[in-house]
Amino acid sequence: MKKSILLVEDTEDLGEMIFDILKMSGYQVAWAKDGGDGVAQYLSVRPDLVVTDLVMPVMNGLEVIAKIREVDSQNNVPIIILSAKAIPEDQEAGFKAGASLYLKKPCSSKLLLDSIKELLK
């Protein structure tokens, strides 16, 4: 069975590109375009992994991660932050919220796919 990934990304062209890369790599992908929708889709899809941006409308990425960890505390789903905000304080806040990995935009598709593969082992 295909592994499922929830992409939470508000930038249309970047979201499309990541969505296509994940689909072509054999993953089942759901795409939320803001943080609030990201949490709602997480609850309905129950993905194997989440990739989220930090700066988004409705709910930011840290809030998305915290909400996922709160509502699904038994399931330690891997969460990757993919963000242009990459100063040490941002990374620390991401890990404190419950992220598994922090990748800086722009990120190569190879690095993203290798990271996903490693976290889904």
Topology (CATH level 3) of domain 4-119? Rossmann fold (3.40.50)
Backbone angles phi, psi at 101, to 5 degrees: -155, 150
Instruction: Tell me how far apart the alpha carbons of residues 68 and 13 are, in angstroms, rounded to a whole number.
Output: 25
What are the sequence ranges of the domains in the chain?
A: 4-119
Task: Name the percent of the chain lying above pLDDT 70.
Answer: 100
Helix (H, G, I), strand (E, B) or coil at 39: helix
The closest of 58, 10, 67 to 39, measured between CA atoms, is: 67
pLDDT (tens digit, 9 = 90+) per residue, 52-76? 999 998 999 999 999 999 998 777 8
pLDDT (tens digit, 9 = 90+) per residue, 72-97? 877 789 999 999 988 999 999 999 99
pTM for the predicted model, two decimal places = 0.95
**Residue 73 has what pLDDT?**
77
List all residues 6 or more positions away from 32 whose beta carbon is below 8 Å from its beta carbon. Answer: 6, 7, 8, 9, 38, 40, 41
Average pLDDT over residues 41-57: 95
C-alpha gyration radius of the chain: 13
pLDDT over threshold 80, residue 39: yes
Instruction: Tell me how far apart the alpha carbons of residues 30 and 89 are, in angstroms, rounded to a whole number.
Output: 29
